[in-house]
Each structure stands twice: as C-alpha cells, then as structure tokens.
Amino acid sequence: MIDLNALDVLSPGYEASPKAKLTVRCHSVSDVVQVLAYAAETGDRIVPRGGGHCFVDRCPADGIVVDLSGMDRIAVDDHGVATIGAGARLGAVYAALHESGRTIPAGCGDTVGIAGLTLGGGIGLLGRQYGLTCDRLVGAQVVLADRSVVECDEHRESELFWALRGAGGGQFGIVTELRFATVPEPSVCRIEGRWAEPESVVKAWQDWAPNAPDGLTVNLTVQGGQATLFGASTMPPETTRALLREFTARAGVLYAIDIRLDVPYSMVKSTFRAEDPAEGSRSRSEFFARTMSERTAGELLKGLEGNRRLAFTAMGGAYNRVAEEETAFAHRGERFLLEEIGDPGDPWVDEAWNAAHAEGSGRVYPNFPDLALEDPAEAYHAGNYPRLAAFKKNCDPHRVFDFPQAL
Ligand SMILES: Cc1cc2nc3c(=O)[nH]c(=O)nc-3n(C[C@H](O)[C@H](O)[C@H](O)COP(=O)(O)OP(=O)(O)OC[C@H]3O[C@@H](n4cnc5c(N)ncnc54)[C@H](O)[C@@H]3O)c2cc1C
C-alpha cells in the first residue's frame, strides 16, 4: 500500500474541502504521481484544485483533493514565454509578469487560480484584444490517470493540448505547469461609470459594447435602479472618451463617470470587485449571440429587487476570431454573456434565466458551471462534444477524474 505520510496531507477536516476523504497539498510532480498511485489502489476519485474557486463543489465523499498550491512558481523567459505552476493565483501571476513588463489576458479576482481559469477558457478585460487566457496557452505539463507525466503542445500530445484549451478543468489529468505566450503589459484607461436609467443603458450597451473596437472592454452590472459600467481601454484617451460619449448619448442620465489614465493593466484588475458566488449568492448564466429584445430585457429589469443583479460581459473581438473547432472552447460567435445573480434559494434566479434563455444561444461558459442545465454537454461543448468525449474515454477509461457533468 502506498504510504502518503511523507506528503503534505491536510485533511480530513481541512476547511477548504470539508467533504473530501483527503486533501494532499502537492509540492512536486512526484507528489502528484504518488497520490494518483495511492488512488489507483483505493479506487478513490481525484479532484485537482488550483485556486479553489469552482462555483460548485466537485468533490465526492470518497474523493481525494490534489491541492496544487505548493506548485506556484512563475518565470518568464527571454522570448516572453511564462511558465506558471498550476497552483498560482491571478494576483501573483499579474504581479510577477508585470516585473518583466509582460502580461496575459485573464480574469479579474486576485485569488482565482490560473489553472481552473485557463482550462475552462478565461474571459477578461484584455480578451477582446488578445483572446481567451487559453488562447495564449502554448504548452502544459500534465500527469495523466495512468500516472505518466506528459508535455503537451501543438506538436506533442496535440489532442490533449486541444482539449485543455477550454473544456473545463478536472477532466483529463492533473496539470502541473502551464506555459503562455505573454503580451506586452499595456497601460490602460480604467473606466467606471454609473447611469440612472437601466432600460436605456442595457439597450445602448448591447448595441455598443460587443461591437466596440478590440481595445475597449466595458462590462455592465444592473442592480436596483442603477447601471454600472466598468472596464478598460488600451486606446488613446481621446479615442476612449469619444467612444464613451457615443455610449452616453444613447444611455440616458449619467450619475458619475471616473476615467483614470495610464494605469498598468496588472493593477486595474484588482480595483474591480470580483464577487465569489460561493459566498452567499447563486448565479446562472448563458451566452447571447443576438441582441436581447426590449420586451425580455424589460421583464428581467422589472424583477430586480434587493440583492438581485444582472451582469453583462462583452464578448466579440479576438474571442471570436478563433474557429469553434480550433480549441475545445466552443463559444466563438457570441456577443455577450449574461449572468443572473441572487440570494441562494431566490426563485428569481431561475425565473430570470428561463425568461432570458428564450433568446440566448443555449451555450454556457464551462467556468460558470450550472447544475440545473438540462443538456450540459451541448451547453458547455456544443459541436466539440463528440471529440472531447472520445478523448476522455481514451485518456481516462476508468474515470479517475469524474464529477457531475464531467465529460
Ligand atoms: C471571485 C471570482 C472571480 C472570477 N472572475 C472571473 C473572470 O474574470 N473571468 C473568468 O473567465 N472567470 C472568472 N471566474 C470563474 C473562474 O474562471 C472559475 O471559477 C475557475 O474554475 C476557477 O479556477 P480555480 O483554479 O480558482 O478553481 P478550482 O476550484 O481549483 O478549479 C476549477 C476546476 O478546474 C479543475 N482544476 C483546477 N486545477 C487544476 C489542475 N491543475 N489540473 C486539472 N484540473 C484542475 C478543478 O478540479 C475544478 O474542476 C471567477 C470566479 C470567482 C470566484
């Protein structure tokens, strides 16, 4: 019997994974291999963990959590390729890349894990210019279910490399290291504004934000009687101001707008509040390939009371310049992503999702998992599902990596 005592075993009882039979914090690839060898003897399922921010708890009671937080090294080489340990979190990633004058397009939320974010796609304020986080992935090291350690990229284990880019985490193996082609870190205009008339703002935003030049990403949240626009622009200040004037002319009464110039991208991210849905709220979401009708938007806005909130994320731009079958991320023709967020147990979340769903594209972001979906395979993977399912069968035939809605 493999003995795990020499490893950094954190539970039973470890607060971040209370349901798990064991949590093992790994500090090396050989730690990961040993945990997989142990699970092969016991028959336990394996759940990898990067930042631990998954919206749903994927660990069964007999599951072993492989916590990668002990593997968080970040280095950038002379060609601008960043090698990032799978346990690194976004705040540390942005800060380390900033030291080299580089960055990657990735999400907000300093504590979100680079691994989970990348494996499901990775949407962020530079995405309309540079694509998803997974679009910048050029290679990865992975420990597979059979305990082999493989390097994958365009030429080696290319099917694994394809599948890692957007199918969602925890499906094919334990990623221990990710390599990204970084981009020069831009200085951006940080944009935050509040408007008084949500109906006209939602209409104006839908017509404007998904069609804006790639350098401008502005997202929208609506709560109560107020609409808040927030985002960043890599374009010159005068161009940015002209675009915002165009929006304001259509969006009705402006309460306040704050435009800060020359903010390093690595800093602007953490100035926006990124709420953890696990902390006291429930959300559902869907992509939209078409503008929502005024009738449906009106219906959604009518129900917004208390903590209920709508969040619109602009897609388009570089996200959509990759073919759907080129990576596992299948959602390449969308205009925006809409989230309905409320208190846990508030029926409005489902009611609003159902109302919006009539006009949505039926596609759901794999990083925003939703256990209420009727056909999760179609929603998360669309036309890429048959290829992903065949690859899953091949690389994890005994389903060492398994959870509800897994491939
Ligand atoms: C506060 C907050 C802000 C967010 N902001 C954004 C945003 O701006 N943009 C965006 O696109 N998304 C955002 N998200 C969603 C986020 O992308 C997902 O929650 C993501 O899955 C989190 O990854 P993680 O590593 O932190 O979580 P985990 O729970 O550790 O992992 C998520 C999934 O990936 C698997 N996984 C993790 N590490 C590995 C690994 N090394 N190898 C194999 N599988 C692995 C896990 O098993 C799990 O299935 C946000 C979430 C939160 C909570």
8-67: CATH topology is: 3.30.43
pLDDT of residue 131: 98
DSSP sequence for 225-277: TEEEEEEEE-S-HHHHHHHHHHHHHHH--EEEEEEEEEEEHHHHGGGS----T
Q: Where are the domains of the chain?
A: 8-67, 74-184+385-395, 187-380
**From ligand 1's centre to the CA of 341, what distance in Å?**
18
Q: How far is CA 201 from CA 55, 219, 340, in A?
A: 29, 11, 17
Q: Which sign does the torsion angle of CA 174, 179, 185, 186 carry?
A: negative
Q: Which CATH class is domain 74-184+385-395?
A: alpha beta
Alpha-carbon distance of 28 to 10, in angstroms, equals 16
Q: In angstroms, how far is the first alpha carbon of the chain from the final one?
A: 30
**From ligand 1's centre to the CA of 89, what distance in Å?**
10
187-380: in CATH 3.40.462.20: yes
- Side-chain half-sphere of 124: how many Cα atoms within 13 Å? 32
Q: Fold identical between 74-184+385-395 and 187-380? A: no
CB within 6 Å of ligand 1 — which residues?
A: 47-55, 58, 68, 86, 107-109, 112-113, 115-117, 119-124, 169-170, 174-175, 274-276, 367
* Average predicted confidence (pLDDT) for the chain: 94
pLDDT of residue 11: 64
* β 173-181/81-85 pair status: antiparallel
pLDDT in tens, 180-192: 999 999 999 999 9
* 173 CA: nearest ligand 1 atom: 43
Residue ranges of alpha helices (H) inside 131-212 are: 158-164, 198-208
pTM above 0.95, yes or no: yes
- pLDDT over 80 at 114, yes or no: yes
pLDDT in tens, 133-155: 999 999 999 999 999 999 999 99
pLDDT in tens, 228-238: 999 999 999 99
pLDDT in tens, 265-315: 998 877 776 655 556 899 999 999 999 999 999 999 999 999 999 999 999
Length of the chain: 407
Alpha-carbon distance of 290 to 359, in angstroms, equals 8
